[in-house]
Structure 1
Amino acid sequence: MSQRKNTSPIAEYWCTVCEKHNKRMEAVKYCHDCVTFFCFTCEKHVHNMLAISSRHKMVERKDMPSMARTASIPITRCERHTAELLNMFCADHDEICCFLCKLDRHSDCNDIQHLPIVAKGIKLSPEYRDTMAAIQEAAGSADQVIRECQQLEAHVVKDAKSIAEIIDECCETLIGLINDLKNEAKTELAKRKDSVMESISAQITDYSKHKASLDATIAAIKTFEEAFNECQLFTDLKQGQKVAAAVQKIVSERETIAKYQTLEFTLSDEIQRLLRNCPSLGKFGLHIKDHDDKHVCNVTDICQLTNGEFLLTDTSNKKVKHLDAKYQIRNSIQFASKPLAACEVDASQAAILLQEGRQSKVQFIDTKSSLACLKSFPIGLNYTCSGLTFTAGELYVTCTDHRLRVFSLDGKLQWTLQNDGHGRPMFKEPRNILHNAEHQVIHVCDDHIGVVTLDLEGFVVNTAKLQKSLKCPRGLSTDLQGGVFVCSLETDAVLRLGPENGSQARVLLRHIDGIQKPCAVCYDKNRKKLLVVNQKSDTINVFSVH
């Protein structure tokens, strides 16, 4: 709808009676008792026609500006029509508007009243009390957020200072190691120098003796040459030939020795390669510690939601933490029991496995807003549980009595897995469990077996047995090809098992990558990143995986 132009002269106040009839006349008086503005005509023919109005307190136009501080009259201007005052209230839209707004946007509304009339007695109304309470509550919430942000700022400053000190310590450590290598190299150089110098000194002594012998021979030859004693001269010549040949032989051999004893030094190729291949001095982890956490985090499971966000189970602080797609804490929920595992049920809710003593239960939470608790059901009292996953409308739960139990969403036990087709126990100590959507199988970590893979009917498909690089498996996740990521708690490693579950096992991350007792892993299918959390750690490590 096009906006109508205001053809009336600009005035501070308009006649209330005329505005009710969609006319604009400048007000010349205001009646305190009627809470109404009047133009000259309406005052004369409407207000003053009633005998009851004769004693009303009227305010002249010249006194209206000062009256705004004490009387209940509109003083706020419309944002859409800056020359107009907000002097009307549309109950249909619960909106305060001006005269032009009434004509343009509220022409079809049935309940529009003059603002002074609607506002009369507002300070004593429940709406005033409720609104003020809501505003104060919102202000309190804002203050709380500000305090939390300020606390976070303090933590960030403190952490940054601590990390800067760690970086300095790392540099000092590296410089110390390099200085140790430098000192060792210089010590070795001194030893080699002394050895070579000793050899050279010995050669100088030997050659000095040979030189003296040669000088004596030359002197003898000259002596007998002058005496014309040919017999002795012949004898001295032959002796001189032998001495000269012997010395010449030694000299020729010395060339080889001298080359061998030359001092040389080349920087270690391994050190150069390590430094060139090192992308940085260290790596930064992302904090997963909440502002009110009282203990070091101990994450046992990471679950990626359909919207790309994540749920983390932190047993130390008895929390489930909701991370956004950039791995920042969005909110969290605290329980009376320890949350051990989490899995998404649908786009709006997730199932959490809670454990306290020997009592276990599944708690459903809302993942769309504030992680509010929904329904729940108990699992059992005679055994504890470790992991859960969801597929085809059923929850698969691993239990410490060597069984895998399958429940419906309302908590009814559907079936139990204990032995394979040959009557042998399928599990010894099952832990994490995961549904592989790419291959429609179930993977189960077992401390004493490895990673057991089942089809959806409960038959064992394959087993990645414990090996040198896979001990005490924890945490499970799959990539887009159906490959399985698993943590090796005891060997400080993260492995990828091929689609055949172990036939192509490959160590991806080691201790040198910052992996120390890893217990939770999750592949971010949207950003192609691998999230790993070490045991008893307040940070989550993020790696690029190719």
Structure 2
Amino acid sequence: MAKDITNVSMEDLEAVEDLEAVKKLEEYVMCSNHNRGDIKFYCKDHDVPCCEVCFKEDHLTCKVIDIRKEIPILVCNSKIDKLSADLKKIGRHFMKFIEMNESCVVNLGTEINKLMGQIRKERKKINVILDELEKQVKNDGSAIYREVAIKKQHENQQCLILLDAVKSSQNAFESVYRYGSYFQKYLIADKARSQLLYYNNQVVEKFQKTETVKVMLKLSPQLLSIASASVSELGKVQYIAGSKILPLKGFQRQTYQVNVIGYFDLKVPAGAVARYTGVTFLPGNRLMLADYDNKQCILLNSSFQLITSHALTGIPYNVCVIDDEEVAVSFINKNKIHILSVVDDVIRPVRKMPIKYNCNGIASAGKGQMVVNWYCGNNKSEWILTNKDGLIQISHQYDCLLNAFDTYHYYLALNNANTRLYISADNINSLLCFDMAGNALFTYKAANLVNPKGVAVDNHDNIYVVGLQSDNIHQLSSDGSLLQVLTSGVPLCPLAICFHKTYLVRQIVKAEHNFV
């Protein structure tokens, strides 16, 4: 039987030669969530050990026992040997998965080399065609050159004969004028005028009838389209990612148990109505709700008791955390997001962030960023990743298939690594999944998911989407596979939902009372 870590003395630890092992032993008796406080309790409701802070914050209403008194029973029930064997088995499968991924990378490199070979092959084909074209151009050009050269040579020979005649006439004229009589001069001048007219006409005729020659290369439209095309138009590498379910003997996907902890009446005054369309956890296990009907947001403590409320200038729809001190609120029919500070349990308006369209869906993306969703017309919706000052980091549009009677009050959630975005599209009764490059990864749709609204992701990247009209919650794996449909303990008309490390919180409307 394994040694009881909680009873190991410092003398025993000092006797251990492997100091790294000692440090690991010390870690197992400390709480990693609250400044490494001692583990003192065990919560039977959630099957987790906890320290005093964990107990006070999250487990006051749970069945909690002193872990040191119950250690022998707990260790016995945990079946150490089987756990060890199962861990080794899972470890082997992880190693196999790593090997498969490494093989995938190697194969990808081979495929890319094949693509390069394909380009070289296509280039050779094009070069062969261009070589043939060059040969044809050379032959045709040589034939044209010979024809034009012969013609021009013949014209030049005629001009040389005329040039000799002109020179002969000029010499005779100059000789007679130098040595001849007046009568001879008169006759040679008359003859020269007649010859000059003939020579002048010949010059005019030569210059008017001569041909100027140039050649052009008339390329085919196919070749011109290649030459004028951009690189992306000629071709590009397509990245095709697909999911493949591999055979895995002895393993099945496990669902995580979801239990109803309780209902909390928020004490709505008689005759008043309140719908909490947005919900999120704040630091210190506080909870903020968007009160749709009363145009306010309210702040609850860790016991879900009212701390304060803050009146808003519009109808709030959703709310999300930006950082430790600020939250963002989206509104119905408003092209603005309000940024509020929540310090010392006091809610104060900070600024308003203008946006392009009426926004409803909003979700925290960590590091002061958030994802915002809106309908932008022409059956298109758009989601953007923005920081708290409104600077857009990423923007992607997608088809939303709206008609005149549809609404577009979409809810958003991101996985823990902020690499996947989930959007509940109530108009098509579907949950959409995108990566942050805007690629659609999957669409989840089920007959018993009607008017999906709130979306949440737990610590294991399981997805929860509520059905407003189907009165249920669908629990999905990170790849969109259905794990289970939660109906037991789910009140009528679940709407907003968010995930805490311990509690899954949802809001419904029933009569005059409101619950989370």
TM-score of Structure 1 vs Structure 2, range by shorter chain: 0.3 to 0.5
Q: Which has the greater radius of gyration?
A: 1
**TM-score using structure 2 length:** 0.44
